[in-house]
A and B are shown apart, each in its own frame.
Chain A
Amino acid sequence: MLNAEVSMDMSLIPEMKMLNGQSGTPAIKVEARGVDVYYGEKHALKNVSVDIPERSVMSFIGPSGCGKSTFLRCINRMNDTVSSCRVTGRITIDGADIYDPDVDPVELRSRVGMVFQKPNPFPKSIYENVAYGPRIHAKAANKTELDEIVERSLKRASLWPEVKDRLSDSGTSLSGGQQQRLCIARAIAVDPNIILMDEPCSSLDPIATARIEELMEELRDSYTIVIVTHSMQQAARVSQRTAFFHMGSLVEQGETKKIFTNPVDQRTQDYITGRFG
């Protein structure tokens, strides 16, 4: 909670950067400057600049099609898999440009995990789902270590008690909420430092949603979490900072409390008061 409290005092980004390195203050984990995204002819994201502080939850909100998911997918270069997509501008993680030609997207994604809107467990056993990442990245030297990683990841995703006796069951046999936590465990198993969540609760019921939100609260201590959400309540509940996107542009960003209580821009005001969206 300390992080959040300190960050509340900061209203301007440059100041935040100046505080980099000081103990107890959040460093900037991801920094985006002037990012434009095109899908073929379509200009999907216009000149977006964002700072995402380390070890906290940042939420992107906005109406459908506003570009928030597109931006999220830029952070681990998932947009590379869409052949018509073109990204310009600069995004850095820990100060290093991730669109540098030397950066290997495969390696990048092992540091930036992602959880999707619809739970997408592989049609394999629960164990294999979690073990898949560590295996391809050779994170475990032997079976015992792999077992440990799987157990630790499932525990961190608070799924372990529910599945420890049925690790060989298919991942698709779980309930929706369990599947989503399995996907989180799968992402954690690779040991990333950033986790991107693209509307992770939109296909879940309220109870499952509450569990995921609890989980995010726990994970915040060790990971930088970026969440795209439709629900303003969720953004208010889980995040310390919020960015509001509208029609491909970033309208406003800042402390969650400030955005929801005292937004600067009229469009943000209209959105959070439910005039559109």
Chain B
Amino acid sequence: MTTWYIVMTLLLTSAAFYVSRRQAIFVAGTRLSDLHSLPIYHGLLASALALLSMLAVLAIGLPLANRYAEHSAVSKFSDASDPLQRSALMRDVQNVVTGQHSGEIAVETQAAAAAYSAAITLGERIVLGAGLLIGAAAAYFGFGRISVRFRARNAFEKIVSGVLLACAAIAALTTLGILFSVAGETYRFFFDPHITGKPGVFDFLFGTEWNPQAAMRADQGEISTAYGFVPLLVGTLLITVIAIMVAGPLGLFSAIYLAEYASPNVRGALKPLLEILAGIPTVVLGFFAALTVAPLIRGWGETFGLNVASESALAAGVVMGMMIIPFISSLSDDVINAVPQSLRDGSYALGATRAETIRQVILPAALPGIVAAFMLAISRAIGETMIVVMAAGLAANLTLNPLDAVTTITVQIKTILVGDQEFDSAKTLAAFALGFVLFFITLLLNYIALRIVNKYREQYD
């Protein structure tokens, strides 16, 4: 249906363009230069009006049609007052409609599915009809304005300006979307009275036990759920600290070498290497961490008589450190290069060696930028998911031993949300609460880092 709608939109739009352009040429007659705007702008204006109105109808109409279909489906069920139950029923209906349902289908569900199908077909037809009608009307409006005097270009450019602004606003809307979805669910996690088993804010922030798995069956006995955030935070920070301990010196010294020592040829050869490292997908690094680095570290530990968990924080941290080396090195390289040459000259003219100039003049001058680079790298490490999903553990151990298995915020989000979930359980909402904390921490780090970098740039511009 959507495909049809798009095809019709394209047809109507191009028809509007050609007809209007011809009309403009016709109106101008032999003296084309009398037209205020080129014929093409008359065409563009009409087609833009048609396109925008049809897209607007689709954007408004489709959710309405879905809402209507859902309503007609739910009305077939005798008991569907509870929103939780309703969403479960709707999932069944959806499965029946798409043919993915396995096993027996209840009579009520079957009826609901039929109603749903009928309603959605009707709704989509109405949307298509309305879209064509309104689109044609808009195109006709543009067509009707065509005259020698009409400033079609100015009108069209106004529309384009609006589109440009809308595109730019999408970035702002994305942040709003994140806040709306993640913060909204987080609010429900803490304060929605319908959700059972949820923790208090204080228990969440300072609890030292994390166990979102509720007992699924009676024979599993009493497993108490707990939503203490502290072990996740400690696990995340432990891996991050290991990563920074690896990436900090390596990245910074790489940047120093590239910026201050390497000849242009060497720089040209080595910089792409770091860029390749930056381009390696994290799922690949996760595979490497889990299947190569972790057994290696475990083996080394055993030869020294250390008990190393097979999913040790050390393995995940080391590989994550490798991942963030390019971040630190390229950002540090930038800020070191931004240090004015005059400072270097001043130092060399006093008879300082390169190392002395770097240590005592360049690094202190570049320090804010380097701090920002480290903050951005830390924020990367905290938010990184695949490496820890594949190489770190699931059990929320509260420990600082890098040889133990720990879990992280991202691992828990992934674990909770992958696979079947009921949308309105405390467990699912807990993942959103974790996501909110993650978003908040990284946003704060990035914001501060960007402020520092901008201040730093101003200083030397």
Chain A residues engaging chain B, CB cutoff 8 angstroms:
76, 78, 81, 83, 106-111, 113-114, 116, 118, 120-124, 132-133, 136-137, 183, 186-187, 190, 196
Contacts and interface: CB of A to CB of B under 8 A. Distances in A.
Given A107-B351, A116-B346, A132-B352, 10 more contacts: A78-B348, A108-B351, A109-B348, A114-B345, A116-B342, A120-B340, A123-B365, A132-B361, A183-B346, A186-B346
B276 interface: no
A225 B408 CA distance: 65
18 contacts: A78-B345, A81-B344, A81-B348, A83-B264, A108-B351, A110-B351, A113-B350, A114-B345, A116-B346, A120-B342, A120-B343, A122-B343, A122-B365, A132-B361, A136-B350, A136-B351, A136-B353, A190-B350
Interface of B: 263-264, 340, 342-353, 356, 360-361, 364-365, 459
Contacts of B349: 76, 78, 109, 113-114, 116, 187, 196
Contact of B345 (A108, A120, A136, A190): A120
Contact of B360 (A107, A114, A132): A132
A95 B349 CA distance: 21
A157 B67 CA distance: 82
Contacts of A121: 346
Nearest to A137: B351
A159 to B, nearest CB: 16
Contacts of A83: 263-264
Contacts of B365: 122-123
A106 B349 CA distance: 8
B345 A109 contact: no
Contacts of A196: 349
B258 to A, nearest CB: 14
A133 B345 contact: no
The 10 closest A-B pairs by CB, nearest first: A110-B351, A114-B349, A109-B351, A120-B342, A133-B350, A120-B346, A136-B356, A123-B365, A136-B352, A106-B351
A110 B342 CA distance: 18
The listed residue with most A CB atoms (<10 A of its CB), out of B264, B350, B361, is: B350
Nearest to B339: A123
A109 B356 CA distance: 14
A109 B352 CA distance: 8
A208 B294 CA distance: 66
Given A132-B360, A136-B356, A118 B350 contact: no
A124 B343 CA distance: 11
Contacts of B344: 81
Contacts of B360: 132, 136
Contacts of B364: 122-124
A106 B264 contact: no
Contacts of B347: 122, 132
A190 B360 CA distance: 16
